Chain A
Amino acid sequence: DAGVTQSPTHLIKTRGQHVTLRCSPISGHKSVSWYQQVLGQGPQFIFQYYEKEERGRGNFPDRFSARQFPNYSSELNVNALLLGDSALYLCASSYRLAGGDAEQFFGPGTRLTVL
Protein backbone atom coordinates (compact mmCIF):
# COMPACT_ATOMS: atom_id res chain seq x y z
CA ASP A 1 0.00 0.00 0.00
CA ALA A 2 1.19 3.50 -0.75
CA GLY A 3 2.11 5.58 2.24
CA VAL A 4 1.68 9.30 2.73
CA THR A 5 3.04 11.24 -0.22
CA GLN A 6 4.21 14.84 -0.26
CA SER A 7 5.31 17.21 -2.98
CA PRO A 8 7.63 18.78 -3.76
CA THR A 9 10.55 17.06 -2.03
CA HIS A 10 12.68 20.18 -1.89
CA LEU A 11 11.89 23.82 -2.46
CA ILE A 12 13.97 26.99 -2.46
CA LYS A 13 12.22 30.35 -2.12
CA THR A 14 13.20 33.90 -1.31
CA ARG A 15 11.89 36.07 1.50
CA GLY A 16 8.43 37.49 0.86
CA GLN A 17 7.39 34.78 -1.57
CA HIS A 18 4.50 32.38 -1.17
CA VAL A 19 4.69 28.58 -1.10
CA THR A 20 2.17 25.73 -1.44
CA LEU A 21 2.97 22.26 -0.15
CA ARG A 22 0.85 19.23 -0.99
CA CYS A 23 0.03 16.00 0.78
CA SER A 24 -1.90 12.85 -0.09
CA PRO A 25 -2.85 10.64 2.87
CA ILE A 26 -2.78 6.87 3.07
CA SER A 27 -5.78 5.43 1.23
CA GLY A 28 -8.75 5.31 3.61
CA HIS A 29 -7.31 7.87 6.01
CA LYS A 30 -9.52 10.89 6.57
CA SER A 31 -7.37 13.04 8.84
CA VAL A 32 -4.32 15.03 7.80
CA SER A 33 -2.02 16.98 10.10
CA TRP A 34 0.84 19.33 9.25
CA TYR A 35 4.02 19.79 11.27
CA GLN A 36 7.12 21.95 11.04
CA GLN A 37 10.45 20.51 12.10
CA VAL A 38 13.57 22.63 12.45
CA LEU A 39 16.97 21.09 12.97
CA GLY A 40 17.48 19.67 16.43
CA GLN A 41 13.82 19.91 17.44
CA GLY A 42 10.83 17.62 17.39
CA PRO A 43 7.99 18.31 14.95
CA GLN A 44 5.75 21.23 15.90
CA PHE A 45 2.02 20.94 15.22
CA ILE A 46 0.63 23.45 12.69
CA PHE A 47 -2.81 22.22 11.60
CA GLN A 48 -5.11 19.24 11.69
CA TYR A 49 -7.94 18.60 9.24
CA TYR A 50 -10.64 15.97 9.33
CA GLU A 51 -13.41 15.59 6.78
CA LYS A 52 -12.35 18.91 5.21
CA GLU A 53 -12.76 20.84 8.45
CA GLU A 54 -10.01 22.41 10.51
CA ARG A 55 -9.95 20.58 13.84
CA GLY A 56 -6.84 22.04 15.41
CA ARG A 57 -4.33 24.83 14.98
CA GLY A 58 -0.94 25.24 16.55
CA ASN A 59 0.84 28.40 17.59
CA PHE A 60 1.72 29.66 14.13
CA PRO A 61 1.02 33.09 12.55
CA ASP A 62 -1.83 33.73 10.14
CA ARG A 63 0.66 33.56 7.27
CA PHE A 64 0.16 29.81 7.56
CA SER A 65 -3.08 28.36 6.18
CA ALA A 66 -4.25 25.00 4.97
CA ARG A 67 -7.19 23.19 3.49
CA GLN A 68 -8.35 19.65 2.85
CA PHE A 69 -10.06 18.51 -0.32
CA PRO A 70 -12.93 16.04 -0.84
CA ASN A 71 -10.42 13.28 -1.66
CA TYR A 72 -8.76 14.00 1.74
CA SER A 73 -5.57 15.40 0.20
CA SER A 74 -4.35 18.64 1.69
CA GLU A 75 -2.40 21.80 0.96
CA LEU A 76 -0.35 23.93 3.31
CA ASN A 77 0.16 27.54 2.24
CA VAL A 78 2.69 29.94 3.70
CA ASN A 79 2.64 33.60 2.69
CA ALA A 80 5.29 36.30 3.05
CA LEU A 81 8.05 33.79 3.71
CA LEU A 82 10.64 34.59 6.36
CA LEU A 83 14.11 33.12 6.79
CA GLY A 84 12.82 31.40 9.93
CA ASP A 85 10.30 29.42 7.88
CA SER A 86 13.15 27.26 6.58
CA ALA A 87 12.38 23.80 7.88
CA LEU A 88 11.20 20.30 7.06
CA TYR A 89 7.42 20.35 6.63
CA LEU A 90 5.80 17.07 7.48
CA CYS A 91 2.35 15.77 6.70
CA ALA A 92 0.84 12.93 8.73
CA SER A 93 -2.34 11.00 8.14
CA SER A 94 -4.52 8.94 10.42
CA TYR A 95 -7.63 6.84 9.83
CA ARG A 96 -9.81 9.11 11.89
CA LEU A 97 -9.57 12.26 13.92
CA ALA A 98 -6.29 12.07 15.79
CA GLY A 99 -7.82 11.60 19.19
CA GLY A 100 -7.58 8.81 21.67
CA ASP A 101 -5.51 6.06 20.15
CA ALA A 102 -5.35 7.25 16.55
CA GLU A 103 -1.88 6.61 15.15
CA GLN A 104 -0.35 9.13 12.78
CA PHE A 105 1.91 8.14 9.89
CA PHE A 106 4.27 10.62 8.34
CA GLY A 107 5.13 11.36 4.75
CA PRO A 108 8.71 11.96 3.58
CA GLY A 109 8.42 15.70 4.11
CA THR A 110 9.16 18.81 2.07
CA ARG A 111 12.44 20.55 2.77
CA LEU A 112 11.85 24.30 2.43
CA THR A 113 14.78 26.69 2.24
CA VAL A 114 14.11 30.43 2.37
CA LEU A 115 16.95 32.65 1.16
Chain B
Amino acid sequence: QKEVEQNSGPLSVPEGAIASLNCTYSDRVSQSFFWYRQYSGKSPELIMSIYSNGDKEDGRFTAQLNKASQYVSLLIRDSQPSDSATYLCAVNRYCGGSNYKLTFGKGTLLTVNP
Protein backbone atom coordinates (compact mmCIF):
# COMPACT_ATOMS: atom_id res chain seq x y z
CA GLN B 1 0.00 0.00 0.00
CA LYS B 2 1.33 3.42 -0.96
CA GLU B 3 1.90 5.87 1.87
CA VAL B 4 -0.31 8.57 0.35
CA GLU B 5 -2.76 7.83 -2.43
CA GLN B 6 -4.88 10.26 -4.41
CA ASN B 7 -7.67 9.62 -6.90
CA SER B 8 -5.89 9.13 -10.18
CA GLY B 9 -7.68 11.77 -12.22
CA PRO B 10 -7.63 13.72 -14.32
CA LEU B 11 -10.73 15.40 -12.96
CA SER B 12 -12.74 17.69 -15.17
CA VAL B 13 -15.57 19.92 -13.86
CA PRO B 14 -17.56 22.78 -15.38
CA GLU B 15 -17.07 26.31 -14.14
CA GLY B 16 -19.13 26.98 -11.02
CA ALA B 17 -19.30 23.32 -9.97
CA ILE B 18 -17.83 21.71 -6.85
CA ALA B 19 -14.56 19.85 -7.37
CA SER B 20 -13.87 17.02 -4.92
CA LEU B 21 -10.34 15.74 -4.43
CA ASN B 22 -9.62 12.72 -2.25
CA CYS B 23 -6.60 11.31 -0.46
CA THR B 24 -5.95 8.30 1.76
CA TYR B 25 -2.87 7.61 3.87
CA SER B 26 -1.43 4.47 5.38
CA ASP B 27 0.30 5.64 8.59
CA ARG B 28 -2.35 5.80 11.31
CA VAL B 29 -0.17 7.97 13.60
CA SER B 30 0.13 10.82 11.07
CA GLN B 31 -0.95 14.08 12.66
CA SER B 32 -0.91 16.86 10.08
CA PHE B 33 -2.19 17.06 6.54
CA PHE B 34 -1.75 19.58 3.77
CA TRP B 35 -3.07 20.40 0.33
CA TYR B 36 -0.80 22.05 -2.19
CA ARG B 37 -1.70 23.46 -5.59
CA GLN B 38 0.84 23.21 -8.38
CA TYR B 39 0.41 24.99 -11.69
CA SER B 40 2.19 23.51 -14.67
CA GLY B 41 5.88 24.39 -14.59
CA LYS B 42 5.64 25.99 -11.15
CA SER B 43 6.39 24.88 -7.59
CA PRO B 44 3.77 23.68 -5.08
CA GLU B 45 1.82 26.36 -3.21
CA LEU B 46 0.30 25.61 0.20
CA ILE B 47 -3.45 26.22 0.16
CA MET B 48 -4.80 24.32 3.18
CA SER B 49 -3.58 22.60 6.31
CA ILE B 50 -5.71 20.50 8.67
CA TYR B 51 -4.83 18.78 11.92
CA SER B 52 -8.11 17.79 13.60
CA ASN B 53 -11.02 15.62 12.53
CA GLY B 54 -13.78 17.52 10.79
CA ASP B 55 -13.98 20.35 8.31
CA LYS B 56 -11.84 23.44 7.86
CA GLU B 57 -13.04 26.17 5.54
CA ASP B 58 -11.02 28.93 3.87
CA GLY B 59 -12.88 30.90 1.24
CA ARG B 60 -13.97 28.54 -1.53
CA PHE B 61 -11.83 25.71 -0.14
CA THR B 62 -12.90 23.16 2.47
CA ALA B 63 -10.58 20.48 3.79
CA GLN B 64 -12.07 17.44 5.50
CA LEU B 65 -10.19 15.02 7.74
CA ASN B 66 -11.29 11.64 9.06
CA LYS B 67 -8.44 10.04 11.00
CA ALA B 68 -10.41 6.85 11.75
CA SER B 69 -10.80 6.24 8.02
CA GLN B 70 -7.35 7.70 7.23
CA TYR B 71 -8.96 9.97 4.68
CA VAL B 72 -8.46 13.61 3.70
CA SER B 73 -10.39 15.53 1.09
CA LEU B 74 -10.45 18.96 -0.49
CA LEU B 75 -13.60 20.55 -1.83
CA ILE B 76 -13.42 23.54 -4.14
CA ARG B 77 -16.73 25.39 -4.42
CA ASP B 78 -17.66 27.60 -7.37
CA SER B 79 -14.71 26.23 -9.36
CA GLN B 80 -12.99 28.72 -11.64
CA PRO B 81 -10.77 28.12 -14.70
CA SER B 82 -7.91 29.58 -12.61
CA ASP B 83 -8.29 26.58 -10.27
CA SER B 84 -7.05 24.30 -13.06
CA ALA B 85 -3.87 22.78 -11.63
CA THR B 86 -2.48 19.64 -10.03
CA TYR B 87 -3.50 19.25 -6.38
CA LEU B 88 -1.07 17.46 -4.12
CA CYS B 89 -2.02 15.84 -0.83
CA ALA B 90 0.80 15.75 1.73
CA VAL B 91 1.01 13.96 5.07
CA ASN B 92 3.51 14.67 7.85
CA ARG B 93 4.72 11.28 8.99
CA TYR B 94 6.63 10.66 12.20
CA CYS B 95 10.10 9.17 11.58
CA GLY B 96 11.41 8.74 15.13
CA GLY B 97 12.99 11.08 17.66
CA SER B 98 11.71 14.55 16.88
CA ASN B 99 11.83 14.00 13.13
CA TYR B 100 9.03 14.05 10.61
CA LYS B 101 8.86 13.58 6.86
CA LEU B 102 6.42 15.24 4.51
CA THR B 103 5.13 12.58 2.12
CA PHE B 104 3.22 13.51 -1.02
CA GLY B 105 0.73 11.73 -3.20
CA LYS B 106 1.16 11.73 -6.98
CA GLY B 107 -1.34 14.54 -7.35
CA THR B 108 -4.66 14.93 -9.12
CA LEU B 109 -4.91 17.08 -12.22
CA LEU B 110 -8.01 19.26 -12.11
CA THR B 111 -9.36 21.00 -15.19
CA VAL B 112 -12.18 23.54 -14.83
CA ASN B 113 -13.95 24.11 -18.12
CA PRO B 114 -15.44 27.55 -18.87
The reply to whether chain A is a binding partner of chain B is: yes
A residues with CB within 8 A of B: 33, 40-45, 48, 55-56, 58, 88, 90, 92, 97-109
Contact B102 A108 (CB under 8 A): no
Given the complex, which residues of A lie within 8 Å of B4, measured CB to CB? 42
Given the complex, which residues of B lie within 8 Å of A105, measured CB to CB? 46
CB contact under 8 A between A43 and B104, given known A98-B92, A100-B92, A107-B43 = yes
A-B contact count (CB 8 A): 69
* Distance to closest chain A CB from B73 (angstroms): 17
- The interface on chain B, measured as residues whose beta carbon lies within 8 A of the other chain's beta carbons, has a size of 27
Bound state CA distance, A104 and B49, in angstroms?
10
Bound state CA distance, A48 and B99, in angstroms?
9
Instruction: Select which of B43, B102, B104 is within 8 A of A98 by beta carbon.
Output: B102
Instruction: Select which of A45, A55, A107, A109 is within 8 A of B102 by beta carbon.
Output: A45
Given the complex, which residues of A lie within 8 Å of B101, measured CB to CB? 45, 48, 56, 58
Contact A99 B102 (CB under 8 A): no
* Distance to closest chain B CB from A98 (angstroms): 5
